[in-house]
Amino acid sequence: MATVPDAKADFAALLVRWQRLEGRHDLPWQNTQDPYRIWVSEIMLQQTQVATVTRYYDVFIARFPDIHCLAQASLDDVLALWSGLGYYRRAKLLHACAQTIVARFQGEFPREEQALAELPGIGRSTAAAIAAFAFQRRAAILDGNVKRVLARVFALELDTQSSKALHAFWSLAESLLPQSEDMPAYTQGLMDLGATRCLQRQPRCEQCPLQAVCKAKSQGRERALPLAKPKKSLPLRYWLMVWISDGQSILLIRRPEHGIWASMWSLPTIESLPESLIGHLMANPQPDQALKDKRSIMRTMHLLWQQACTQRLDTKRLDTQPLARPIFNVLKSSIKQDARLDWHSYVAQSFTHFRLHAPLLHIRLHRDVTSKEDLQVRDVAQVYGMEDPLVGHHQFLWIQPKDALNLGIPRCLRQLIGASN
């Protein structure tokens, strides 16, 4: 087995030289030392690919050109521009962080890594990136891409997710830092290397500036490192979403402050279908296979819910479902008024910890139905913890679909609502 030189001695110099010659230099958030713009880009880049972020960054900066504009904006405005980027908690924390910096630091970003890391939504690695790019601080970043680079170059036999490995990775990352003046190029070089050369499945070793000092490459183990536990299959959850329209407007409800799509606007939802309902829904014991026959599934669900709404199915078993009773009230009311019920396809989305399939029930009300009480909106709102949905802060909305697109709504619903225009 061929021996390779000690990577520590030349790691930073090789990386800085390569980044300046061949790294990325045309990203919209580069070539600036404005900590605000750097911070926005780093938050957007958390768990999101560069190609996706570039479609949102310029629009966001044009709407909120500085931290004072962002701090003064409503959360709805921020969520609306963030819709499609996913991980919406980032947008909430971005907004909260802007308000904190304006209130505590008069709109000036702290220059030290530790102070930055204490702000909402800014962890250790993001704080280091801001400090390195904006203030040339010698601060180490450590995200998934950087772990992969370090694990391969130094042939680290570590589970990247363990606490022991995390400590070792941080210690190594801090030992490799160059002088302050090289920190922006070094930090960007690490990001570029992990994103364009040291790829997870298809590493481009022949184009890597570190190939001569990479132990994994010399051992022929570049595809085997870093060590990773097999991914667990994500559990499947079933929700029911209800699209209620009167021909002009649809009903939206504000999501709770915590959890999936926190504080965003969404359709009324039952977030956990009862086992009895799933039993009727699933003729096939394999949910993925059963859902392939959408027509059969939708027909079964339609009949079942009509039976439930007309009291031909015992609904008392559904009391433990947080939003079941309000939705049943809506459905019973709609049938009582001779409204039309049908299926509006279904929502499918993957989250970090589960996959979601949500049949979408469409209730078309007659145009002469004007009383919101007929739809038991008050009951729906009370479940969400609102004292009176008809006054004060509006936590539900009857809104035209074209106007709903200006709100913070999840991307999967934005596509449905956009298609309804």
Q: Which residues are catalytic?
A: 42
Rg of the chain over all Cα atoms, to the nearest angstrom: 26
Contact 55, 200 (CB under 8 A): no
Instruction: Give the H/E segment covering residue 308.
Output: helix 294-309
User: What count of Cα atoms within 13 Å lies in the side-chain half-sphere of residue 49?
Assistant: 4
Query: Residue 104 in 3-state DSSP?
Result: helix
What is the distance between the alpha carbons of residues 20 and 149, in angstroms, rounded to a whole number?
Answer: 18
Residues 6+ apart with CB under 8 A from 134: 33, 34, 35, 38, 109, 111
Contacts of range 144-150, beta carbons closer than 8 Å, 24 or more positions apart: 144/194, 145/190, 145/191, 145/193, 145/194, 145/195, 145/198, 146/173, 146/190, 146/191, 146/194, 147/226, 148/194, 148/198, 148/200, 148/225, 148/226, 149/190, 149/193, 149/194, 149/198, 149/210
Count of positions (residues) in the chain: 421
Half-sphere exposure of 207 (CA within 13 A, CB side): 15
Contact 128, 140 (CB under 8 A): yes
* 3 state DSSP class of 160: coil
Residues 420, 249: Cα–Cα separation, whole Å = 11
What is the DSSP secondary structure assignment for residue 1, as one 8-state letter? -
